[in-house]
Amino acid sequence: MIEFEGVGHRYGERMVLSGVDLRLPERRVAFVGANGSGKSTLARMINGLVRPTTGRVLVDGLDPSHDGPAVRRRVGFVFTNPDSQIVMPTAGEDVAFSLRRSGLSRRERAQRAAEVLAEHGLDGYADHPAHQLSGGQKQLLALCAMLVLEPEVLVCDEPTTLLDLRNKRRFVDLLGTLKQQVVLVTHDLDLLGGFDRVLVLHAGRVVADDEPEPALRRYRELAG
């Protein structure tokens, strides 16, 4: 269970989030809102990459600011910019690297990595240089490197910006089948049909919290 209790955040003098009180037990939760409305800041708090300046965040009762490693074992994070997430020379090694503490043998890790890549649109790319994948393929790689760890929660900050139609459909299908709780930040409103809950951020505050249709109606009104 992810909880925000009186969460606010400022970068220097700039107040970018305030008064965020949320309990998020639903399986599919999305944050939408204008550029700069605070979505990435909020998402990053879930695994301790950003610490709230006021209030606190809890994941299964653990505070990411204090129990970072324990929270990060539960929460996988997929960033907007996949380059920031690539750590190894090839796609297969990159996914296998996620499993370095799994207890699996080197061979088993490589095999598991190849399987996960094949499941998510990167069949045959295990030996491909990770930095020489296309932008969308890198997004898929970043997703694979998280999914292979089978976290309880997957936080994705605009994970589909570079995906083609087929891979975006694949991602939507994946959202339908993943056992994980997914917290998705997106500008791609087509992804949200099956979501349980959509929160609209506006100037650092949650201004709508509803099922997709009414929440997105409110978002469209705000966008003018």
Ligand X SMILES: Nc1ncnc2c1ncn2[C@@H]1O[C@H](COP(=O)(O)OP(=O)(O)OP(=O)(O)O)[C@@H](O)[C@H]1O
Binding site for ligand X (CB under 6 A): 11, 16, 33, 35-41
The nearest distance, CB 100 to ligand X, in angstroms, is: 29
The nearest distance, CB 125 to ligand X, in angstroms, is: 28
- What does the alpha-carbon distance between residue 21 and residue 23 come to, in Å, rounded to a whole number? 7
Spatial strand order of the sheet with 14-24 comes to 14-24, 2-11, 54-59
Output 33 or 92, the one with its CB closest to ligand X: 33
Assign 83 to helix, strand or coil. helix
The item of ligand X, Mg ion, none sharing an interface with residue 37, based on CB under 5 to 8 Å by kind, is ligand X
- What does the alpha-carbon distance between residue 201 and residue 196 come to, in Å, rounded to a whole number? 17
CA 135 to chain CA centroid, Å, is 17
Output 11 or 211, the one with its CB closest to ligand X: 11
The nearest distance, CB 103 to ligand X, in angstroms, is: 36
The item of ligand X, Mg ion, none sharing an interface with residue 105, based on CB under 5 to 8 Å by kind, is none
Output 28 or 39, the one with its CB closest to ligand X: 39
Site residues for Mg ion per CB under 5 A = 40
The item of ligand X, Mg ion, none sharing an interface with residue 16, based on CB under 5 to 8 Å by kind, is ligand X
Output 38 or 76, the one with its CB closest to ligand X: 38
Burial (CB < 10 A; 0-12, 13-18, 19+), residue 15, is middle
Secondary structure element (H or E) that encloses residue 135, with its range: helix 135-147
Output 40 or 160, the one with its CB closest to Mg ion: 40
Task: For residue 148, give every residue at least 6 positions away whose Cβ sits within 8 Å of its Cβ, in sequence order, or none.
Answer: 95, 98, 99, 112, 113, 116
The nearest distance, CB 35 to ligand X, in angstroms, is: 3
Residue 114 identity (one-letter amino acid): A
Q: Where are the beta strands (DSSP E) in 25-73?
A: 28-33, 54-59
The nearest distance, CB 33 to ligand X, in angstroms, is: 6
